[in-house]
A and B are shown apart, each in its own frame.
Chain A
Amino acid sequence: GESVGLHLPTLSVQEGDNSIINCAYSNSASDYFIWYKQESGKGPQFIIDIRSNMDKRQGQRVTVLLNKTVKHLSLQIAATQPGDSAVYFCAEKASSYKLIFGSGTRLLVRP
Protein backbone atom coordinates (compact mmCIF):
# COMPACT_ATOMS: atom_id res chain seq x y z
CA GLY A 1 0.00 0.00 0.00
CA GLU A 2 0.94 3.62 -0.34
CA SER A 3 3.01 5.28 2.34
CA VAL A 4 0.84 8.00 3.79
CA GLY A 5 3.54 10.62 4.00
CA LEU A 6 7.20 10.72 3.06
CA HIS A 7 8.00 14.19 4.37
CA LEU A 8 5.98 14.37 7.55
CA PRO A 9 7.42 15.48 10.90
CA THR A 10 8.62 12.34 12.60
CA LEU A 11 8.69 11.35 16.24
CA SER A 12 10.90 8.39 17.08
CA VAL A 13 10.46 6.74 20.48
CA GLN A 14 11.73 3.65 22.22
CA GLU A 15 9.25 0.87 22.78
CA GLY A 16 7.78 1.22 26.25
CA ASP A 17 8.35 4.96 26.48
CA ASN A 18 5.57 7.53 26.41
CA SER A 19 4.88 9.48 23.22
CA ILE A 20 3.57 13.01 22.91
CA ILE A 21 2.29 14.22 19.56
CA ASN A 22 1.43 17.88 19.22
CA CYS A 23 -0.97 19.75 16.99
CA ALA A 24 -1.69 23.44 16.53
CA TYR A 25 -5.19 24.11 15.27
CA SER A 26 -6.27 27.14 13.33
CA ASN A 27 -9.81 28.12 14.24
CA SER A 28 -10.53 29.58 17.65
CA ALA A 29 -14.21 28.78 17.06
CA SER A 30 -13.54 25.04 16.77
CA ASP A 31 -15.41 23.16 19.46
CA TYR A 32 -14.69 19.54 18.70
CA PHE A 33 -11.38 17.80 18.12
CA ILE A 34 -10.40 14.31 17.09
CA TRP A 35 -7.19 12.35 16.82
CA TYR A 36 -6.89 9.82 14.03
CA LYS A 37 -4.28 7.13 13.43
CA GLN A 38 -3.44 6.12 9.88
CA GLU A 39 -1.40 3.07 9.07
CA SER A 40 0.16 2.60 5.67
CA GLY A 41 -2.39 1.62 3.08
CA LYS A 42 -5.36 2.19 5.36
CA GLY A 43 -7.84 4.92 6.06
CA PRO A 44 -7.68 7.06 9.20
CA GLN A 45 -8.87 5.29 12.33
CA PHE A 46 -10.58 7.14 15.19
CA ILE A 47 -8.54 7.19 18.42
CA ILE A 48 -10.07 9.73 20.79
CA ASP A 49 -12.06 12.93 20.72
CA ILE A 50 -12.55 15.92 23.00
CA ARG A 51 -14.99 18.79 23.15
CA SER A 52 -13.97 22.36 23.80
CA ASN A 53 -15.58 22.41 27.24
CA MET A 54 -12.94 19.93 28.41
CA ASP A 55 -9.18 20.24 28.92
CA LYS A 56 -8.34 16.58 29.16
CA ARG A 57 -9.78 13.25 28.22
CA GLN A 58 -8.37 9.81 28.77
CA GLY A 59 -8.84 6.58 26.88
CA GLN A 60 -7.03 3.29 26.94
CA ARG A 61 -3.31 4.19 26.94
CA VAL A 62 -4.11 7.54 25.28
CA THR A 63 -4.77 11.00 26.68
CA VAL A 64 -5.75 14.10 24.76
CA LEU A 65 -5.01 17.54 26.18
CA LEU A 66 -6.60 20.71 24.87
CA ASN A 67 -5.25 24.20 25.48
CA LYS A 68 -7.68 26.64 23.94
CA THR A 69 -5.66 29.67 24.98
CA VAL A 70 -2.86 28.79 22.57
CA LYS A 71 -4.96 26.61 20.25
CA HIS A 72 -2.92 23.54 20.98
CA LEU A 73 -3.87 19.90 21.10
CA SER A 74 -1.70 16.98 22.17
CA LEU A 75 -1.99 13.22 22.12
CA GLN A 76 -0.14 11.25 24.74
CA ILE A 77 0.40 7.53 24.25
CA ALA A 78 1.54 5.59 27.30
CA ALA A 79 3.92 2.64 27.01
CA THR A 80 4.26 2.98 23.25
CA GLN A 81 4.14 -0.28 21.35
CA PRO A 82 5.35 -1.23 17.85
CA GLY A 83 1.72 -1.36 16.74
CA ASP A 84 1.44 2.34 17.49
CA SER A 85 3.73 3.15 14.57
CA ALA A 86 1.62 5.16 12.14
CA VAL A 87 0.82 8.69 11.03
CA TYR A 88 -1.31 10.64 13.49
CA PHE A 89 -3.65 13.44 12.43
CA CYS A 90 -5.50 15.91 14.55
CA ALA A 91 -8.77 17.24 13.19
CA GLU A 92 -10.94 20.17 14.27
CA LYS A 93 -14.52 21.10 13.71
CA ALA A 94 -16.31 24.39 14.30
CA SER A 95 -20.08 24.79 14.58
CA SER A 96 -20.38 23.68 10.97
CA TYR A 97 -20.00 20.03 10.23
CA LYS A 98 -16.75 20.33 8.27
CA LEU A 99 -13.90 18.39 9.82
CA ILE A 100 -10.52 19.90 8.96
CA PHE A 101 -7.42 17.76 9.24
CA GLY A 102 -3.93 18.86 10.18
CA SER A 103 -0.87 17.76 8.28
CA GLY A 104 0.06 14.75 10.41
CA THR A 105 2.98 13.41 12.42
CA ARG A 106 4.69 10.10 11.80
CA LEU A 107 5.37 8.04 14.91
CA LEU A 108 8.16 5.47 14.70
CA VAL A 109 8.58 3.01 17.56
CA ARG A 110 12.05 1.53 17.97
CA PRO A 111 12.15 -2.03 19.34
Chain B
Amino acid sequence: EAGVVQSPRYKIIEKKQPVAFWCNPISGHNTLYWYRQNLGQGPELLIRYENEEAVDDSQLPKDRFSAERLKGVDSTLKIQPAELGDSAVYLCASSFRQGLGEKLFFGSGTQLSVL
Protein backbone atom coordinates (compact mmCIF):
# COMPACT_ATOMS: atom_id res chain seq x y z
CA GLU B 1 0.00 0.00 0.00
CA ALA B 2 1.34 3.43 -0.92
CA GLY B 3 1.92 5.88 1.90
CA VAL B 4 1.19 9.57 1.98
CA VAL B 5 2.73 11.16 -1.09
CA GLN B 6 3.90 14.75 -1.15
CA SER B 7 5.45 16.91 -3.80
CA PRO B 8 7.66 18.67 -4.45
CA ARG B 9 10.33 17.26 -2.17
CA TYR B 10 12.25 20.51 -2.05
CA LYS B 11 11.37 24.07 -3.01
CA ILE B 12 13.55 27.15 -3.02
CA ILE B 13 11.92 30.49 -3.72
CA GLU B 14 12.55 34.16 -3.15
CA LYS B 15 10.51 36.04 -0.61
CA LYS B 16 7.22 37.47 -1.83
CA GLN B 17 6.86 34.67 -4.38
CA PRO B 18 3.97 32.20 -4.22
CA VAL B 19 4.45 28.49 -3.55
CA ALA B 20 2.20 25.46 -3.47
CA PHE B 21 2.51 22.01 -1.97
CA TRP B 22 0.56 18.93 -2.96
CA CYS B 23 -0.49 15.91 -0.91
CA ASN B 24 -2.09 12.59 -1.80
CA PRO B 25 -3.24 10.78 1.37
CA ILE B 26 -3.48 7.06 1.94
CA SER B 27 -6.46 5.58 0.16
CA GLY B 28 -9.47 5.39 2.44
CA HIS B 29 -8.20 7.94 4.94
CA ASN B 30 -10.83 10.63 5.24
CA THR B 31 -8.85 12.85 7.60
CA LEU B 32 -5.98 14.93 6.24
CA TYR B 33 -3.61 17.23 8.09
CA TRP B 34 -1.05 19.82 7.14
CA TYR B 35 1.73 20.38 9.65
CA ARG B 36 4.69 22.72 9.68
CA GLN B 37 7.95 21.63 11.25
CA ASN B 38 10.62 24.16 12.07
CA LEU B 39 14.18 23.05 12.53
CA GLY B 40 14.68 21.32 15.87
CA GLN B 41 11.00 21.28 16.76
CA GLY B 42 8.05 18.97 16.59
CA PRO B 43 5.39 19.35 13.91
CA GLU B 44 2.70 21.97 14.49
CA LEU B 45 -0.78 21.65 13.06
CA LEU B 46 -1.83 24.15 10.40
CA ILE B 47 -5.11 22.70 9.23
CA ARG B 48 -7.18 19.54 9.49
CA TYR B 49 -9.72 18.24 7.00
CA GLU B 50 -12.53 15.77 7.47
CA ASN B 51 -13.26 14.76 3.90
CA GLU B 52 -13.46 18.09 2.05
CA GLU B 53 -14.32 20.17 5.10
CA ALA B 54 -11.70 22.11 7.01
CA VAL B 55 -12.67 21.39 10.62
CA ASP B 56 -9.76 23.17 12.25
CA ASP B 57 -7.82 25.95 10.58
CA SER B 58 -7.27 28.01 13.71
CA GLN B 59 -3.48 27.83 13.37
CA LEU B 60 -3.39 28.67 9.68
CA PRO B 61 -2.12 32.22 8.97
CA LYS B 62 -4.99 33.11 6.73
CA ASP B 63 -3.53 36.34 5.44
CA ARG B 64 -1.05 34.40 3.35
CA PHE B 65 -1.82 30.69 3.66
CA SER B 66 -4.66 28.86 2.00
CA ALA B 67 -5.54 25.22 1.58
CA GLU B 68 -8.06 23.16 -0.26
CA ARG B 69 -9.12 19.57 -0.48
CA LEU B 70 -11.43 19.27 -3.42
CA LYS B 71 -13.33 16.00 -3.65
CA GLY B 72 -12.03 15.00 -0.24
CA VAL B 73 -8.87 13.27 -1.48
CA ASP B 74 -5.82 15.26 -2.62
CA SER B 75 -4.98 18.54 -0.96
CA THR B 76 -2.91 21.59 -1.76
CA LEU B 77 -1.40 24.12 0.61
CA LYS B 78 -0.47 27.52 -0.78
CA ILE B 79 1.55 30.42 0.55
CA GLN B 80 1.25 33.80 -1.12
CA PRO B 81 3.38 35.76 -0.65
CA ALA B 82 6.09 33.75 1.09
CA GLU B 83 8.17 35.31 3.85
CA LEU B 84 11.59 34.38 5.17
CA GLY B 85 10.04 32.92 8.30
CA ASP B 86 8.05 30.43 6.26
CA SER B 87 11.17 28.36 5.69
CA ALA B 88 10.34 24.98 7.21
CA VAL B 89 9.31 21.45 6.34
CA TYR B 90 5.63 21.16 5.46
CA LEU B 91 4.26 17.75 6.33
CA CYS B 92 1.03 16.18 5.21
CA ALA B 93 -0.54 13.37 7.22
CA SER B 94 -3.66 11.27 6.93
CA SER B 95 -5.53 9.03 9.32
CA PHE B 96 -8.61 7.00 10.04
CA ARG B 97 -10.10 6.69 13.47
CA GLN B 98 -9.61 3.54 15.49
CA GLY B 99 -11.74 3.76 18.60
CA LEU B 100 -10.24 6.29 20.96
CA GLY B 101 -6.93 6.38 19.13
CA GLU B 102 -5.98 7.81 15.80
CA LYS B 103 -2.77 6.93 14.07
CA LEU B 104 -1.41 9.60 11.79
CA PHE B 105 0.66 8.55 8.81
CA PHE B 106 3.01 11.21 7.53
CA GLY B 107 4.48 11.91 4.15
CA SER B 108 8.15 12.81 3.71
CA GLY B 109 7.35 16.50 3.59
CA THR B 110 8.28 19.44 1.41
CA GLN B 111 11.31 21.34 2.55
CA LEU B 112 10.77 25.02 1.78
CA SER B 113 13.59 27.53 1.73
CA VAL B 114 12.65 31.17 1.31
CA LEU B 115 15.58 33.40 0.33
Residue numbers of A with Cβ under 8 A of B are 1-8, 31-32, 34, 36, 41-46, 49, 51, 89, 91, 93, 97-99, 101-104
Q: Other CB < 8 Å A-B pairs besides A31-B100, A97-B56, A104-B40, 20 of them? A: A1-B111, A2-B111, A3-B39, A5-B40, A8-B40, A32-B102, A36-B106, A42-B108, A43-B4, A43-B91, A43-B93, A43-B106, A44-B106, A49-B103, A93-B102, A97-B48, A97-B102, A98-B56, A99-B45, A101-B42
Residue pairs across A and B with CB atoms within 8 Å: the count is 69
Q: How far is the CB of A46 from chain B (nearest CB, A)?
A: 5
**Interface positions of B (Cβ within 8 A of A):** 4, 31, 37, 39-45, 48, 55-56, 89, 91, 93, 100-109, 111
B100–A91 touching, CB < 8 Å: no
The residue in chain A whose Cβ has the minimal distance to the Cβ of B105 is A46
With a cutoff of 8 Å between Cβ atoms, the chain A residues found around residue B89 in the complex are 2
**Which chain A residue lies CB-closest to B44?**
A101
- B100 contacts A41, CB within 8 Å? no
Q: How far is the CA of A41 from the CA of B91 in the complex (A)?
A: 11
Q: Given B39, B102, B106, which contacts A2 in the complex, CB threshold below 8 Å?
A: B39
